[in-house]
Structure 1
Amino acid sequence: MSNTEALPLLEPETSATAAPCCPPLTERPLTAEEAERTATMFKALGDPVRLRLFSLIASHAGGEACVCDISDVGVSQPTVSHHLKKLKEAGLLTSERRGTWVYYRVEPSVVAAMGQMLRTFG
């Protein structure tokens, strides 16, 4: 599945930064569309293997990881590929093929949007 077919976490902007798809949960109720996109994101992260893969990619040096560097998570390679596909479909990862390997990246704006949505008034 291409990145253009993924459910976006972020809405495109003309500037270099992206805006969160949804307001903080304490700001106002989500619309049906916002709730659908957000649920897709959290559902993708609700699996321990997917959450671990997401964490491995997000914390990897340079902000990206080759699939060859993150495949050792206790499941088979086809299962890793399935989980990475689900993370991409949820709009949490992007990927780029370089020769034989696929490199995955978590855009900083995605992590920022997740944090922004879950922030509370303090």
Structure 2
Amino acid sequence: MSKQLTDGSDLSDCRIPLVKEPLLPDQAERLAPSFKALGDPVRLRLLSLIASHEGGQVCVCDLTESFDLAAPTISHHLKVLKDYGLVTSQRRGTWIYYTATAATLDLLSTVLSTREVTTA
């Protein structure tokens, strides 16, 4: 079973804000791992650095300098973000560039939204 929310599964039933109706058990099962992945401060900060980077992509070499952690530790956290569909990566020569996955972030933010969401 894929860890990613955006793996082609029908997620329309998860696109409802918590303030509108409570999650069903299977919806919570599908959403919880992505929120858990963001529960680590390093991963949350990595995602924010990637998502806010100019141009929407950032080289791993630019991420490691923002932390007082060994490169393998940063790589582990990036792998977790990638495994849960929060980021994608692209190798360019010896470097890997990361991009935040808009579809996953949109889904998670919709669930946490306090605004009424209209579905088309």
* Alignment TM-score > 0.5, same fold: yes
Please give the alpha-carbon distance, in whole angstroms, between the structure 2 residues aligned to 1:96 and 1:29.
37
- SS of residue in 2 equivalent to 1:10: coil
Query: Which residue, out of 70, 75, 87, partners 2:63?
Result: 70
| Alignment root-mean-square deviation, CA | 2.4
4+ runs deviating over 6 angstroms: none
Q: TM-score, length-normalised on structure 1?
A: 0.79
Query: Which residue, out of 16, 33, 36, partners 2:29?
Result: 36
Q: How many residues align?
A: 114
- SS of residue in 2 equivalent to 1:117: helix
Please give the alpha-carbon distance, in whole angstroms, between the structure 2 residues aligned to 1:20 and 1:102.
34
Please give the alpha-carbon distance, in whole angstroms, between the structure 2 residues aligned to 1:32 and 1:115.
19
Please give the alpha-carbon distance, in whole angstroms, between the structure 2 residues aligned to 1:42 and 1:82.
17
Query: Shift of residue 37 of structure 1?
Result: 2.5
CA contact (8 A) 2:16 2:110 kept: yes
Of stretches 23-32 and 84-93 in structure 1, the one that deviates more from structure 2 is 23-32
**Alignment-derived partner of residue 83 in structure 1:** 77
Runs (5+) with no aligned partner, structure 2: none
- SS of residue in 1 equivalent to 2:74: helix
What aligned pairs does 1:99-114 form with structure 2 within 5 A after superposition?
A: 99-114=93-108
Q: TM-score, length-normalised on structure 2?
A: 0.80
Runs (5+) with no aligned partner, structure 1: none
